[in-house]
Amino acid sequence: MSQLTSLIASRTAPFHTFEFFPPRTEAGLVNLLDRIRRLADAPLPAPLAVSVTWGAGGSTADRSLELAEQVVKMGLDVVLHLTCTNMAKEKVDQALGRCRDLGIRNVLALRGDPPRSEEYAVSADPTPDFFKHADDLVRYIRAEHGDWFCIGVAGYPTPHADSENEEDDLHWLKVKCDAGADYIITQLFYDVEGFLEWVKTCISQPIIPGIMPIQNFASFRRLVNLTKCPVPDSIMDELQPISSDDAAVKNYGAQLATKMVAQIIGSKLVPGVHFCTLNLEKSVRTILENLGWSTKADNRPSTSPSPRHNQLIEDDADMTNVKDGVAINGKTRLSPATQMKDLSISPSEASQLAQYGLTHNVLPPAPKAGLGGKSGGVAEDSWDEYPNGRFTDVRSPAYGEIDGWGSGLKITAAQALKEWGTPTDASQLSSLFVSYLDSSPETPTTPFCDLPLSPESASILPHLIALNSTRLQHWTVGSQPAVDAAKSDDPIHGWGPRGGYVFQKAFVEFFVREEEVIRLEEKLKKGDGQITMTNALKDAVNAVTWGVFPGQEISQSTIIEETSFLAWKEEAFDIWTEWSLLYPRQSPARKLLEGIAGEWWLVSLIHHDYKDSEGLWRFLLK
């Protein structure tokens, strides 16, 4: 493996890197590895390196290192992201040691969440092992590992959400570079002229601009709201008329990113770009083809996915007299150039595939066949492209990411305290949720919703307010009304390509006490079978949103089943815990929120008759 700055110095043509995150499911990981191979295979240009993200506080440490190891086995250089705040030094040491074992020479040193010892005031005990800022991590890596690692840091062409102005950002960027950083990868931006002016005022380390293609309108809005990234009015003006057409938005995002990259590379101010893929393939593939960067097949080894049957599991035993090999954990493994890729599979991949098959009693998942594309007859790159929400196909590498759900608070602690106050009993929490539903300016968010209520919720708003009231205390975090054949370009319910029709089953998800769960279960036993509780699902798969479009298979965009519910449930309760940390130990607010995290239940109910728009609400409210 090589250091990134050496790779950059050796290039005479523009380069690109890809960023991926560790999928939440085993099936998602298997499909992501196929996706990475395709994106690294001719005729597409090989990426200079592949970045693997790292969850704040080391929350994805094991999965990030597993993904990094698999990418190394493909013969690709890896940049491992590493956050440092709210994480013990021992965990940083373990990650860096594992990188050295795998031969990974590149890291991206990031702060991660704000340090709790400062921002959370007296809510957490001071811990000397916490790093406070990214420059602390840079210095530590340099002191402990010398020049082994090529260290990158984040740059902000637009002000960081926590900073006051651009001057502060440039100051801290210089501090990180003076601490020993070798290169800079920027946060996303959409103002190219502003970015180029920022580069001219910057420092001498190589700068790699972060490019995030717009995937759909909802995720774009959430992203810019979270990062506080300014968006030129011209982009918003062009997006607004097509906001309900997912295919049009995705195409627009690819064309916009193409123009941005062409302008950036044409300026000669930066040597390459960094694509934030969100684990999706179609947009970045389109951009590379639009730029004319695709190449004819060369002599580099193919990384195309292997057949999923009759494959030889590669031997991990020690091998001797291997001329073309790399050492991993003291064992010698054939490099990708000499492995029989069409006939073999790594033990890790074989285990993942087998585990999925045993769990689901089916053959391991393969990408769905779609319309033919430029990449070779079957559009393997587009089977899970839109929309990707909390309950979409768990086989998708992008599962659960693109709509911004997940553990952790989406706003700063100061903003959270201002908007959510200091609740000390359940009735005050009910008032908070109702205030948000009423679109009160004092409560623009909740810990589970960082954007205003969607227009779709207006049709069921009275029901949601009744559920969240102090009388019922069913605190809703997800819901949708029943929809029977709305046009796909409908401004409220529509999605996907024009000319189609969309359907929805009503569902609602909420937190309740255990005794209410028992009452609901008893009531369901006496019902007509039209309602199911996701908590009780075993291997059942429920499509609750689907669309019928001209010339296409039926698209099931929102799927609720056991695996997805359990994955989200863990992260949902983590949000209660994170919220509790805003308040001092032993305080009434801290105790209340910790009690909910430990004792309440998350319940999801689906009403299967999409022609009965009131069925679910009659069950819950009468």
DSSP string, 81-139: EEE-TTS-HHHHHHHHHHHHHHT--EEEEE--SPPHHHHTGGGS---TT---SHHHHHH
Beta-carbon contacts of 483 under 8 Å, excluding residues fewer than 6 positions away, are 493, 502, 503, 504, 610
Radius of gyration of the chain (CA): 25
Q: Which residues contact 342 (CB under 8 A, 6 or more apart)?
A: 306, 307
Amino acid at 5: T
Whether 353 and 90 have beta carbons less than 8 Å apart is answered as: no
Considering the candidates 19, 69, 349, 401, report the single residue annotated as catalytic: 19
Q: Which two tokens stand for residue 259?
A: 């123009």
Backbone CA torsion sign across 459, 237, 545, 394? negative
Q: How many helices (H) and strands (E) does the chain have?
A: 20, 21
Residue 476: which of 486, 465, 492, 489 has the closest Cα? 465
DSSP 268: T
Q: Which helix (DSSP H) or strand (DSSP E) does residue 478 occupy? A: strand 475-480
Q: Are 476 and 468 in contact (CB under 8 A)?
A: yes
Read off φ and ψ for residue 276, nearest 5 degrees.
Answer: -85, 105
Using alpha carbons, select from 69, 64, 116 the residue that is nearest to residue 88: 116
Sign of the alpha-carbon torsion through 20, 22, 28, 29: positive
Show Cβ contacts of residue 196 under 8 Å, excluding neighbours closer than 6 positions.
264, 267, 269
Alpha-carbon gap, residue 181 to 185, rounded angstroms: 11
Indicate the helix (H) or strand (E) that contains 332. Answer: strand 331-334
The values of phi and psi at residue 194, to 5°, are: -65, -40
Report DSSP letters for 245-261, one per residue: -HHHHHHHHHHHHHHHH
**173, two tokens:** 């960027």
Active site residue 19: yes
Question: Annotated active-site positions, please?
Answer: 19
